Structure 1
Amino acid sequence: MATDAAPIFPVLQDKVAIVTGAAQGMGLATAEVFLRAGAKVVLADIQARLGEEVSQELALLGPVHFVATDISKSEEVQDLVAEAVRVFGRLDVAVNNAGLTPDRTALLEFDEAYWRRLLDVNLTGTALCCKYEMQQMRAQSPPGGAIVNIASVNAYMPQPNMPAYTAAKHALLGLTKHAAAEGGPVGIRVNAVAPGAIVSELLAKGLEIMGTTPDEFAPKVSSLSRFGHAHEVAQGSLWLASPAASYVTGICLPIDGGFLSKW
């Protein structure tokens, strides 16, 4: 669990939140931050064993419930939302974080099977989450809620050898805006965050492949000359999900250390 995060206030006290991809990385950090903010959190992840282990650890912070979920399967997403309501009574917040790691080939050589699978999870899966989350938020009394989709700086600027990932993240911004327009009249806010280079096993592996170090590479991707941390992304999602952002919908908040505005 994160120990270096900024102080967290109970801005989600007694709110019910779903976090997908919650067994590790940004999803896990988001679940922890939301629990510290007073939420009741339903953890969703395709990794059943890891998800159960994480759920037991996070239970020390507050009410949690784990549901093994493949977000690319409509019936499993529908069951996830129904289970959240069965256990906690309603759905106030959702963070749609689950997704596959980027492809690593040029467009001229991309693997068609992985392209389809990545879009099936990262784009269609997120759309399914929005669909069933918004249905519940519209139907409950009182209606309303807040959704945060996890995008990427790739939604604004393509990176080498990530054609499927870049396409999915660009499309995710359009999905977020459409969902915001559709959900607004019934009090549902939908936003996104766009993380930059965040400390992770994947980033460490990439640096190793490139033969570089964090000190050498970080200034190239951040005006702050450092990598971000998962809890910093989670804090951005917390703000968007909280009453502090009550008049904010349809935006994407870059959490990138200045990558998109770098010289």
Structure 2
Amino acid sequence: MSKVAVVTGASTGIGRAVALGLLKAGYRVALAARRQDALDETAQMAGANSVNALPMATDVASPDGVNALFAALKAKWGRCDLLFNNAGMGVQGYLLEDLPVEKWLEVVNVNLTGSFLCAQQAFRMMKEQTPQGGRIINNGSISAHTPRPDSVAYTATKHAITGLTKSLILDGRKYNISAGQIDIGNAATNMTARMQKGVKQPNGEMMVEATMDVQNVANAVLFMDSVTPEANVPFLTVKASLMPWEGRG
């Protein structure tokens, strides 16, 4: 029987690429994001594999929404083998001292609380299903290591994702649940299109940054889930070779 996966933020970018990669590999995949039309488009892009897609509009920051997503998953396929916690957002155009608390809370609710809510529901299913267990992969970021200028909300949540990942690894052991984090740098998506025009560097200058094909991320997630159940990839970084990460400062 093919594996069952949940991908959040599956309507565009990294989430869409990973969802399509999983569908192509034979997974049955629940596609979650806020916009139903975009999720339906992701499913259609899978071609013949679209029969294994369950597009479901979901606000990951809503406990009721996440509960409904996993209830639908259980009703359709009865289990969850993989959760890719990918839904996320940032806030641009604000200095730290000018960031409205409402914007801060919006980022925290989606990036951190949303990841927790989905992981919690996945835990509950993976704990009770037969065979027991599964895998949770969180989308961290290069910002989980090193921030960009003017990114306090995004960076803080991505550092927190690392703490969430480590807690999932520890608390999941007794249920055969593994967890890992993929830290992604400059995958070519709509979100990173601005990098072709230049992004702010730590010294205040604007610089065009290199990007990489987003398929590299999909391949990396598939690899992380390909290891046998007694193995785990706790942290993996995949980035554009020429992006200025190692030399940020």
Same-fold call, TM > 0.5?
A: yes
User: Larger deviation: 44-53 or 136-145?
Assistant: 44-53
Deviation of residue 142 (structure 1)? 1.3
**Distance in 2, Cα, partners of 1:257 & 1:199:** 9
Q: Any conservation in 2 of the 1:45–1:67 contact (CA below 8 Å)?
A: yes
Q: Any conservation in 1 of the 2:144–2:155 contact (CA below 8 Å)?
A: yes
- Letter of the structure 2 residue corresponding to residue 47 of structure 1: R
Deviation of residue 195 (structure 1)? 0.5
Unaligned runs of 5+ in 2: 201-206
Listed one character per residue, the Cα deviations across residues 205-257 of structure 1 (whole Å, up to 9, x for unaligned) are 2432659xxxx734xxxxxxx412221111111111223574115x2211113
Q: Any conservation in 2 of the 1:173–1:252 contact (CA below 8 Å)?
A: no
- Letter of the structure 2 residue corresponding to residue 217 of structure 1: V
What residue in structure 1 maps to residue 225 of structure 2?
241
What residue in structure 1 maps to residue 79 of structure 2?
90
What residue in structure 2 maps to residue 65 of structure 1?
54
Give TM-score scaled by structure 2 length.
Answer: 0.89
SS in 2 for 1:18: strand
User: Larger deviation: 16-25 or 252-261?
Assistant: 252-261
- Match runs of 1:170-209 below 5 Å: 170-208=159-197
- Letter of the structure 1 residue corresponding to residue 169 of structure 2: A
What residue in structure 1 maps to residue 20 of structure 2?
32
Listed one character per residue, the Cα deviations across residues 81-119 of structure 1 (whole Å, up to 9, x for unaligned) are 111121112111110111113443221221211100010
Question: CA RMSD, aligned part only?
Answer: 2.0
**Distance in 1, Cα, partners of 2:135 & 2:199:** 39
Q: Any conservation in 2 of the 1:27–1:98 contact (CA below 8 Å)?
A: yes
Please say if 1:217 is aligned against 2:208.
Answer: yes
Give TM-score scaled by structure 1 length.
Answer: 0.84
- Match runs of 1:109-120 below 5 Å: 109-120=98-109
What residue in structure 1 maps to residue 235 of structure 2?
252
What residue in structure 2 maps to residue 5 of structure 1?
none
**Distance in 1, Cα, partners of 2:199 & 2:143:** 19
Listed one character per residue, the Cα deviations across residues 54-103 of structure 1 (whole Å, up to 9, x for unaligned) are 22332522511111100000111111111112111211111011111344
SS in 2 for 1:60: helix
User: Structure 1 78/59 Cα, relative in aligned 2: closer, same or farther at 3 Å?
Assistant: farther
